[in-house]
Structure 1
Amino acid sequence: MKRWLYLVHRWIGIATCLLLVMWFASGLVMLYVPFPSLDSEERLAGLDPIAWEQVTQPPVVDTPLRQIALEMRGDRPVWRLSPWEAAPFSVWADSGEPAGRAGEAEAQAIAAGFGKAPVTAMWAIHSDQWTVAERYEQHRPLWKAELRGHNGRVLYVSSRTGEVALDTAQGERFWNWLGSVPHWLYPRALREEQPLWRQVVMWVSGPCILAAITGIWIGLMRVRAGRKRFKGGRMTPYRGWMKWHHVTGLVGSAFLLLWIFSGWLSVDPFRLFASDGIGSEALQAYAGETPLPASDLGLLVQAAPQAHRLVWQSAADRPFLRLQQPGAEDRLLAADTLLPLRPDHDRIAERSTALVPGVPVAAIDMLARPDAYWYAVRGEAHLPVLRVKFADEAATWVHIDPASGNILGEADAKRRVYRWLFDLFHRWDLNLLLGTPPARDVLIWLMSIAGLISSATAVVVGWRRLRRPRKAPSAAIINHS
């Protein structure tokens, strides 16, 4: 049994030690440089204010809508319409005609206006390293535009909608090649085959768990902390590289094991934590009908003269309008009167029963501060928030914005367990640590350095083991053969 314990740890460790070095080092990079994305504030800053003198045609639609948005597409205003049961589409707000695909000339003008810099090169792509995720499917093919400037900024413009879907900078791309790409095993050729990528992550990180468990087992067996120590009063029998491997492996053993295990869970192996969630019909029943903007747009001009984007929605069967402009909080107005939208908690509570039909609401809580299930790793969590708990078999929780009634998130019992097994052990996102970022960084750095030294010494030890000359068979064995 002991022999197999050593053999499993030795050879799986040799096979995976380089991966562990890569994961620890890249994880430290990811602590400070996330994967490229275009957040709401960046998108608003790139959009021009709505040219109200050109907005002359309201949208005409005969299908239920989840959302209507008004913004600029280049130098023309456009209505962006999102039906519940069909693909989003756009119509020009100055003519009422369908807004078709964005050609190269239009995409170049959009990119230059959004990035406030001339376009030096542009070409069409299906995907690249930064746009391989499924969320860009609705925009493919993409126009990739390189902008003039010292930071090497690149914009990706949707050929279908004319929206800027992503921006990246040279420094961001460089650090992601050292961070997210190796950490997630995320090269484009592999990630484009999503089922294959999931299997690779599962079966590459899985053996690392076995290497960690056997390593901890052996490490504890080889420690003498009492009176009967090794020669010279040492607690470990090893010297040199093996000593460093033994000591750092024990110091960071719990972190190492939990971190590798939670990394394996990142792709939800065997769909252990998959859940159906709230269906589209229930979401539509809760939201209600989103009305079309009134044909008289004069009041809108008065209410939002400098808005960069307007969004019509309905939540808890209350239509409302969201005014957005960079550097300012969103303003919520009642869709019919354009007066400030008043919170209506009773209406939200009444309508929330439609989210899980036939099941009573067990409790409704108002959160004024983050807790273990509502928090933000980067930035600040949306607060206050209503937590609606349902008495269904899945123990569904829904988080709702009390100001608008919008659903901000949902989680059943499986996802809440996943929050502890993956999020906590992989990101160390307890609010106690998130509230004191230096402390969280120091903890992650210390544990990562221990894991990095443990895995780096394993590389040296493993390399020496592989280079060790093989012993020739004994004479007795040769004669017997």
Structure 2
Amino acid sequence: MKRYLYLWHRWLGIGLCLFMALWFFSGVVMLYVGYPKLTPREHLAHLPVLSLQDCCVDLAAAIDAADPQRAPASIRLSTVGGEPRYLFSYPGRSNVAVDARTGLREGFSAREQALAAARQYDPLAPLSYQGAVQEDLWSHSRALDADRPLQRVQLADADGTLLYISGQTGEVVRDASALERGWNLVGAWLHWLYPLRGVGLDGWWSNLVIYLSLTATAMAVLGAVIGVLRWRIRSPYRSGSRSPYRGFARWHHIGGLLFGVLAITWIFSGLMSMNPWRIFSSATPLDTSAYQGGPLQAPAFPVSAARALSRFAEEGLDARELEWRLIGGEGYVIGHDGAGRTRVLSMSDGQVHNRLLKEVLERAAQAIVPQGNLRSEQLESYDFYYYARAEQSMLGHLDKRLPVLRVRFDDPQQTWLHLDLYTGEVLSALDQPKRASRWLFALLHSWDWLPLLQRRPLWDIWMIAFSVGGLILSVSGVVLGWRRIRK
């Protein structure tokens, strides 16, 4: 039986230790340089203050111009290429832009629109149009699907920024600096095995990552078992050592004993990040659409965009973007300034508020499960299920402000909602499978544990030290595997 353990570990290791070494190395890079993305704060920082001049056509006319047959999922007023635009999103469909001055739907965004958007992003940098793509190295994210095809514009700025402009609305949807692009070649792009995409394996990519991770987990578990069996606790070998191996084999043996358990948890949690076989997807997820209280339509918003901008200006907010939101059937316009601050204009009383009342969000949430029990709590500090991460991390771009309202339902999946008191947005819906993912992925893979996250650089030391240990374990396995193949 032992012989088969050795053989399985040896031959699995020959094929997989190189992947493990790449994962550990690229994981360290990802601690400090994430996959390129345009964060909400970056987006707002590159927008001008919305102008009141000749703005804006009635919201109802803009909705009809965008799509008279369907209610949008979201409505924003922003500046695109120097011009005010209503921006609409629809579930499963492409985004739509409507000229806020003429009320005409904008067509496909091409070269000139892309250059205008880039000039708005950086008025001083020389521009170079790079053509259109459906998807490339830095635009694999499914969040960009509603904006494809994407127009690329290279800026000759200090950061060597490459911009991606929506082919549907003309707005900048991603920026990637030269530093990000360079490090990501040995960071996220390598870590997520993105070299397998775009070469005819896209349909297999997810399964390849899942089964490589699964096999690597099995290989590491076998190695841990063998490592313990081969370590002599009571009586050493003739050489006086507790390990029978020399050279790289000894490094591999001792490295496995020291770092093997953590290596197993990292590989296994990486597998969990892929949601294999949809184990973290609820069969009956809670339908939260009733929280809105109806379709997003113009009658809920009697205050015009121009009047909303004036009201925000009177309250000291120079709005760069407006967002229309329906909460429990009541209309609100959210104003965003360049620093990410927000104000809420209520359609019911015409007053501008710093944030929404807790009771307003509770009533809207109760409509999701009208006959069920609801418990809510206002969080004043971060906890295990609601916390902020560094901007470069995978979800670090999400704004996790405090206080936040947590609502718990008694549905079969015991769903929790986190509701933003500043905008009314549903920030997250955590049912039992997603809370399990929080333990099996986020905790084990990124060590999203507040005692570490809030005591940096302790978290950095922990992550780097064990990554180096895992790298030693993997590289020594690569050397041993190469020697075996040569024989």
Q: Same fold (TM over 0.5)?
A: yes
C-alpha distance in structure 1 between counterparts of 2:54 and 2:35, whole Å = 37
- 1:316 equivalenced with 2:325 (yes/no): no
Question: Which residue identity does 2:14 align to in structure 1?
Answer: I
Question: Which residue identity does 1:14 align to in structure 2?
Answer: I
Q: Deviations over 1:308-329 (max 9, x none)?
A: 1111212233322221121252
3-state SS of 2:436 partner: helix
Name the counterpart of 2:21. Answer: 21
CA contact (8 A) 1:66 1:313 kept: no
Name the counterpart of 2:78. Answer: 71
Larger relative contact order (CA 8 Å, sep ≥ 6) = 2
C-alpha distance in structure 1 between counterparts of 2:192 and 2:318, whole Å = 41
Equivalences for residues 57-456 of structure 1 within 5 A:
57-59=57-59, 60=61, 61=63, 64-82=71-89, 88-116=95-123, 117-187=125-195, 189-190=197-198, 194-226=202-234, 228-275=235-282, 276-279=284-287, 281-285=289-293, 291-292=300-301, 294-295=303-304, 297-298=306-307, 300-301=309-310, 303-304=312-313, 306-336=318-348, 337-340=350-353, 343-361=356-374, 363-378=375-390, 381-456=400-475
CA positional deviation for 1:231 = 2.7
CA contact (8 A) 1:320 1:341 kept: no
Structure 1 unaligned segments of length 5 or more: list them: 469-481
Question: Which residue identity does 2:230 align to in structure 1?
Answer: R
CA contact (8 A) 2:26 2:188 kept: yes
C-alpha distance in structure 2 between counterparts of 1:184 and 1:436, whole Å = 28
Pair 295,342 (structure 1): closer, same or farther in 2 beyond 3 Å: closer
CA positional deviation for 1:357 = 5.0
CA contact (8 A) 2:41 2:340 kept: no
Question: Which residue identity does 1:402 align to in structure 2?
Answer: L
C-alpha distance in structure 1 between counterparts of 2:164 and 2:318, whole Å = 26
Q: Deviations over 1:62-97 (max 9, x none)?
A: 664443221112122112234679754332121122
Greater C-alpha Rg: 1
Pair 263,435 (structure 1): closer, same or farther in 2 beyond 3 Å: same
TM-score, structure 2 length as denominator? 0.89
CA positional deviation for 1:426 = 0.6
CA contact (8 A) 1:37 1:167 kept: yes
CA positional deviation for 1:330 = 1.5
CA positional deviation for 1:273 = 1.3
Identity %: 34
Q: Deviations over 1:403-458 (max 9, x none)?
A: 44321111111111111011111101111111012111111111111111111111
Q: Deviations over 1:349-392 (max 9, x none)?
A: 2321222454322x212211111111122257321111111111
C-alpha distance in structure 2 between counterparts of 1:423 and 1:253, whole Å = 19
Name the counterpart of 2:476. Answer: 457
Structure 2 unaligned segments of length 5 or more: list them: 65-69, 392-398
CA contact (8 A) 2:303 2:347 kept: no
C-alpha distance in structure 2 between counterparts of 1:87 and 1:346, whole Å = 35
CA contact (8 A) 2:98 2:106 kept: yes
C-alpha distance in structure 2 between counterparts of 1:318 and 1:12, whole Å = 59
Aligned pairs, number: 466
CA contact (8 A) 2:94 2:147 kept: no
Pair 443,56 (structure 1): closer, same or farther in 2 beyond 3 Å: closer
C-alpha distance in structure 2 between counterparts of 1:219 and 1:85, whole Å = 50
